Amino acid sequence: MKGVTKVSHDVYDLHMLILWICVLIGVGVFGTMFYSIYHHRKSKGHTAAQFHENTTVEIIWTIIPTLILVGMAIPATKTLMELDDVQDSEMSIKVTGWQWKWEYDYLDNGIHFFSSLDEASNKARQVGSGIDPRSVPHYLLNVDKPLVIPTKKKIRFVFTAADVLHSWWVPDLGWKKDAIPGFINESWTSVDKPGTYRGQCTELCGKDHGFMPIVVVAMDQPEYDAWVKKIKDEAQKGADLSDQGHDELISKGAGVYAKNCSTCHLPDGKGVPGAFPAITGSAVVKGDINAQTTLVLNGKGGMPAFGKMLKADELAQVITYTRNALGNAVGDEIQPKAIQELLPNKSAAPASKPEAKATAPEKIEPIADMATEALVALGKTVYEGNCASCHQAEGQGMAPMFPALTGSAVVKGDMNAQVNLMLNGKGMMPAFGHTLDAKEFAAVVTFTRNSLGNSVKDAIQPSAIQKLQAALPPAQDDE
């Protein structure tokens, strides 16, 4: 397939050139071999020649393949250099892979959005949906928000990932690029004709790898300019911050949940034991609504920070829905205005940082001590929400990536060493000193040392953790 860009044409032409060179070599080599076998067979009276070497022949069969390889390398190198040449780009788009959606940042005009599997495909893919996938247009290859680009412009793409490895591939563009956490890849494209071009993630990235398609819509400049204006106008409107009725929040929250949460926690809220905690009967969902809101906004462990993905009204709706559906009946709600006050972009202009003043350190009120049994009980919930997806529900781990906690020398050893490891993180393990509060931190440490097959029979109090957290340097993204 030639694709719709100059690069894709060049890649196709290079492929065909190499193919025909290989065909000619194959015809020449096998033709000579079969001719010699047939016309110089023993039945015709031929006998094998008795010689061991021929310098001229050896030089010939060394020089000719070398010339062929050099002849193939010249166009191949030219095409590879063209693929990586992002100079003189007219606009740049940052692409970030998430489990399981794509985030797009237009670095030149400030447009930003997430692109997910479209609602029709998402409904049809559910087990027992009763929907014939053949009745869904572009089943599993359509999205709610496509990436829109102008035609006849050189566009630079910057690729990274927020969680695991992904790979962004649209065949019509002629290339694919891996999206790697903590690493930047680059490529570029220039589409000559308007059209819609579809692709997929091609790096196995988890349970819903097959459900994160890519749709690129190329528009002529006037249509693209109109799209940009429309998106910016919608962004200026922002979320609907008006108060909504209890039933309205729940009704709309069902749609937000189905689109953003059901992938991990399942449509019925039962979750996946050992990986994704259940919503039904969850201590978090049935507990303090402010604590749940903080978790949803900022994420934790394998859960992304939905405060970056959803608007205030959508967040209010889905939080209210989870507390009053899926087998829960807490009866409370939260309004979009309350969510908006918690978002980092709640005001149009960022507040300026106050000047530093020499003041006495703020006095921290110590947290009351808790009984070991209470710490273990709370720690079980914290463990399920933050640690079980890697170390597994029973603490058996997933060798060799995630070590077992059952019988772990770290967990059964010096408590201070374990606390230090969890505070600061190491390797793939995040620094929980910045994500858990003192009570949660003390609880999960005590839980791991007194459960999961361990019986060290010691505990650490929240007040001790509070002092250690106060001495931690700020997280890198605190600014």
| 353 domain residue, yes or no | no
CATH of the domain at 147: 2.60.40.420
- What's residue 479's pLDDT? 36
End residue of a domain, out of 196, 216, 237: 237
**Residue 358 located in a structural domain:** no
Q: CA distances (Å), 442 to each of 301, 367, 416, 463, 468, in order? A: 17, 11, 12, 9, 11
Identify the CATH number of the domain in which residue 21 sits.
1.10.287.90
User: By residue range, what is the domain housing residue 114?
Assistant: 91-237
Are 228 and 287 within one domain? no
Do 226 and 257 lie in a common domain? no
Q: For residues 7 and 78, what is the distance between their CA atoms, to the nearest angstrom?
A: 11
Of 25, 60, 83, the position where a domain reaches its end is 83
Domain annotation covers residue 192: yes
Digit-coded pLDDT (tens) for 199-227 = 999 999 888 899 999 999 999 999 999 99
- Domain assignment present for 351: no
Residue where one domain finishes, among candidates 218, 237, 256:
237
Q: State the Cα–Cα distance between residues 259 and 118, nearest whole angstrom.
A: 9
- Model pLDDT, residue 427: 63
Looking at the fold, whether 330 and 405 belong to one and the same domain comes out as no
The label of the residue with tokens 């694919």 reads 176
Q: Are residues 107 and 216 in the same domain?
A: yes
Residue 347 maps to a domain = no
Task: Please state the domain count of the chain.
Answer: 4
Q: Same domain, yes or no, for 230 and 117?
A: yes
The enclosing domain of 250 has a CATH number of 1.10.760.10
Based on the domain organization, do 129 and 221 belong to the same domain?
yes
Q: Which residues, 6 or more positions from 256, have their beta carbon under 8 angstroms from its beta carbon?
A: 310, 314, 317, 318, 321
pTM of the predicted model over 0.85: no
Reading the block at residue 296, the tokens are 């949803």
Residues 177 and 98 in one domain: yes
Low-confidence ranges of the chain (pLDDT < 50): 347-361, 476-479
Query: Based on the domain organization, do 50 and 100 belong to the same domain?
Result: no
Does 388 lie in the same domain as 422? yes
Residues 210, 154, single domain; the answer is yes
Residue 334 located in a structural domain: yes
Tell me the per-residue pLDDT of 53-84, one tens digit each, with 9 for 90 and over. 888 889 998 999 999 999 999 999 998 888 88
Clarify whether residues 270 and 376 are in a common domain: no
Q: Is the residue at 367 inside a domain?
A: no
Indicate if 77 and 150 belong to the same structural domain.
no
Question: pLDDT digits over 395-433, tens only?
Answer: 888 775 678 999 999 999 999 999 999 998 876 677 888
Q: What is the pLDDT of residue 44?
A: 85
Query: In this structure, is residue 159 part of a structural domain?
Result: yes
Q: Which two tokens stand for residue 63?
A: 């020089």
